[in-house]
């Protein structure tokens, strides 16, 4: 078989030979969508779309208690075992993603301007590898640093005894939570965004910026009003890529989010930042060991399906935003 590859192959055969892996990749992705949807179906069947919502499930209890009781349902659970209201998990996912992307956009645009425009060559030669390095650090290492360094720091220095007591009947404040999660998530997604935005900023034609400079604008103004405006599609693309990563980050967030199916309440003020949560992806990662229980299995696949659909919608949305921006003359 391999010996024949060395010999001459007709164009047609070569096309088939190389087309096979290409088609295989397509089939794998389709299989992924189909399999996850099939496994998720019982959850939708028993709860409708209601499981996405808030409030107590028909069987009562918090999300974590509902997930726990699913494990007891075993391999052939009664229909009532499927009952779940997953809003706290969904809210936790959305909250961490939106916050880290919002901070990430500002940071990465500033960093890209710094790299392309401001930094002297020597500083630049340091910053560019540093960004690449930050992008390469595995998420579990961020998680380890988070849980062993940042979480104790937040617990000892930032949370006061009064804050702890004010919510002690609702939720324990022990350090892991929204603040540490968002800080680390931002640190994880920013390097990807910086890489994309820097590339785009570098490809803005020199003439555009010089045109602005010739009109007497300062260098900063020229960058902000011409270059950054021109690369809006790239910023959108970077934000979407980064939010796909943030949505799906399971391990790091399972380590530092406090792993508690609780929806942080903004009306709690500063305490909001310290309240624990647990996003969908982390919930999947933590519960796969008990996947033999049919109800839990279907629920976890429903979470996975939700993540897949969100990523898909995001990239579709970015496609249309990019297209309309390009139609306005952005690059």
Partner 1 sequence: MSTPTLPARPAGGAGAGAGSGANGPRERLRRLRAELRHWRVTDLIGVAAAWVVGIGLCVVAASILGYMLVQGLRYLSLDLLVTQPEPSLNQTRSGGILDPILGTVIMVIVGTLIALPLAVGAALWVVEFGRPRWLARTVESMIEVIAGSPSIVIAIFGLAIFQLPLMSWMSFTADGGAVFGRSFLTAGAMMSLIAIPSIFTATREALLSIPQHLREASYALGKTRWSTIRAVLLPSVRPGIATGTALGMGRIAGDTAIIVVLLGATLRIEPEGGVPLWGTLTGTGSTLTSYVYNNSPAGEGGAPEKAYAAAFVLLLIVLALNALVSIAGRRDPARTLQK
Report the site for partner 1 in 107-146 (rule: CB under 8 A). 107, 110-111, 113-123, 126-127, 129-134, 136-141, 143-145
- What is the distance between the alpha carbons of residues 266 and 77, in angstroms, rounded to a whole number? 37
Backbone angles phi, psi at 157, to 5 degrees: -110, -30
- The phi, psi pair for 277, rounded to 5°, reads -160, 180
Asked if 134 contacts 187 with a C-beta cutoff of 8 angstroms, the reply is yes
Contact criterion met (CB below 8 Å) for 82 and 50: no
What minimum distance in Å lies between the beta carbon of 32 and partner 1? 5
80 vs 292 by CB, closer to partner 1: 292
Supply the minimum distance, in Å, between the C-beta of residue 241 and partner 1: 7
For residue 15, state whether it binds partner 1 (rule: CB under 8 A): yes
Gap between the Cα atoms of 269 and 111, Å rounded: 30
* Element (DSSP H or E) covering residue 273: none
For position 4 contacting partner 1 by CB under 8 A, the verdict is no
Q: Least Å distance between CB 286 and partner 1?
A: 9
The answer to whether residue 291 forms part of the interface with partner 1 (CB under 8 A) is yes
CB-nearer residue toward partner 1: 98 or 270 = 98
Q: What is the largest CA-CA distance in the chain?
A: 79
Residues 6+ apart with CB under 8 A from 222: 209, 212, 213
Minimum separation from the CB atom of position 51 to partner 1 (A): 17
Among residues 263 and 285, whose Cβ is nearest to partner 1?
A: 285
Q: Which two tokens stand for residue 184?
A: 């680390």
Q: Which residues pair with 277 in a beta bridge?
A: 258
Q: Do the beta carbons of residue 193 and residue 240 sit within 8 Å?
A: no
| Nearest to partner 1 of 291, 321 (CB atom) | 291
Q: Which is nearer to partner 1, 96 or 190 (CB)?
A: 190
Q: Is 173 in the site for partner 1 (CB under 8 A)?
A: no
98 binds partner 1 (CB under 8 A): no
Residues 199 to 238 in contact with partner 1, rule: CB under 8 A? 199, 202, 206, 210, 213, 218-221, 224
Q: How many residues does the chain have?
A: 331
Task: Report which of 89, 190, 73 is spatially closest to residue 142, judged by C-alpha positions.
Answer: 190
Q: Which is nearer to partner 1, 22 or 76 (CB)?
A: 22
Give residues 242-281 in contact with partner 1 (rule: CB under 8 A).
Answer: 244-245, 247-251, 254-255, 259, 281
Window 292 to 321, contacts with partner 1 (CB under 8 A): 292, 300-301, 304, 307-308, 311-312, 314-315
Sequential DSSP letters for 206-256 = HHHHHHHHHTT--HHHHIIIIIIHHTHHHHHHHHHHHHHHHHH--HHHHHH
Q: To which residue do tokens 């229980």 refer?
A: 293
Contacts with partner 1 by CB under 8 A: the residue count is 101
Shortest Cβ 162–partner 1 spacing (Å): 26
Binding mask 29-68 for partner 1 (x = CB under 8 A): xxxx--xx--x-----------------------------
């Amino acid at each position: 078989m391999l010996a024949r590859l060395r010999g001459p192959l007709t164009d047609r055969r070569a096309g088939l030979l190389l087309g096979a892996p290409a088609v295989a990749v397509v089939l794998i992705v389709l299989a992924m969508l189909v399999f996850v949807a099939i496994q998720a179906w019982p959850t939708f069947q028993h709860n409708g779309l209601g499981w996405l919502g808030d409030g107590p499930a028909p069987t009562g209890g918090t999300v974590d208690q509902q997930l726990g009781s699913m494990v007891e349902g075993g391999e052939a659970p009664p229909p009532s075992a499927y009952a779940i209201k997953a809003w706290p998990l969904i809210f936790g996912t959305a909250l961490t993603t939106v916050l880290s992307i919002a901070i990430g956009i500002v940071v990465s645009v500033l960093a890209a301007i710094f790299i392309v425009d401001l930094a002297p060559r020597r500083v630049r030669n340091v910053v560019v590898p540093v960004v690449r390095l930050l992008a390469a650090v595995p998420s579990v290492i961020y998680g380890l640093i988070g849980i062993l360094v940042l979480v104790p720091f937040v617990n000892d220095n930032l949370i006061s005894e009064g804050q702890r007591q004010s919510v002690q009947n609702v939720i324990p404040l022990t350090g892991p939570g929204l603040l540490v999660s968002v800080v680390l998530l931002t640190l994880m997604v920013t390097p990807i965004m910086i890489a994309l935005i820097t590339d785009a900023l570098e490809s803005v034609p020199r003439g555009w910026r010089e045109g602005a400079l010739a009109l007497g604008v300062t260098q900063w103004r020229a960058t902000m009003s011409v270059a950054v405006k021109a690369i809006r599609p790239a910023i959108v693309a970077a934000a979407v890529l980064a939010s796909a990563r943030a949505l799906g980050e399971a391990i790091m967030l399972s380590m530092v989010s406090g792993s508690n199916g609780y929806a942080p309440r903004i009306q709690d003020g500063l305490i909001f930042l310290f309240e624990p949560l647990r996003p969908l992806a982390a919930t999947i990662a933590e519960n796969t060991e008990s996947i033999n229980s049919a109800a839990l299995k279907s629920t976890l696949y429903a979470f996975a399906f939700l993540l897949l659909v969100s990523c898909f919608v995001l990239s579709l949305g970015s496609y249309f935003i990019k297209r309309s921006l390009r139609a306005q003359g952005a690059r």
